[in-house]
Amino acid sequence: MRATISERRETKVSAENQIAVSVQLTVSTFPEDHLRWIFTAKADAKARRPVAEIEPQVLEAAIADAARAAMAEIDRPAKRRTKR
């Protein structure tokens, strides 16, 4: 499993700092099934605190969202094919 930041945006709106983070989570099942999934999630926040204080929470939320999506997809039962 690997998580990377695919986009990071930081802006200042009057007295508030705003940050948006997009992460990409890659999950591989080598060598068992030779499958690879890629999940993307975004999170953002606006606060009067410095960006350095809110960025870890935003990053953690985006990774958690991608991990939830990954687990839901990977744990889903496989579709069965009918033989003819």
> Is the residue at 79 inside a domain?
no
pLDDT, one tens digit per residue, over 62-76 is: 999 999 988 888 777
Q: What is the pLDDT of residue 83?
A: 65
Q: What is the pLDDT of residue 24?
A: 93
Query: Distances from the Cα of 22 to the Cαs of 30, 44, 61, 73, 83, in angstroms?
Result: 26, 9, 10, 19, 42
Where the chain has pLDDT below 70, the residues are: 78-84
The reported pTM is 0.75
Residue closest to 1 by CA, chosen among 42, 37, 41: 37
> Is the residue at 84 inside a domain?
no
Q: What is the pLDDT of residue 80?
A: 65
The residue range of the domain holding 8 is 2-74
Q: What is the pLDDT of residue 58?
A: 94
> Is the residue at 31 inside a domain?
yes
> Is the residue at 12 inside a domain?
yes
> Is the residue at 80 inside a domain?
no
Number of domains in the chain: 1
Residues 56 and 21 sit within 8 Å (Cβ to Cβ): no
Q: How far apart are CA 23 and CA 48, in angstroms?
A: 24
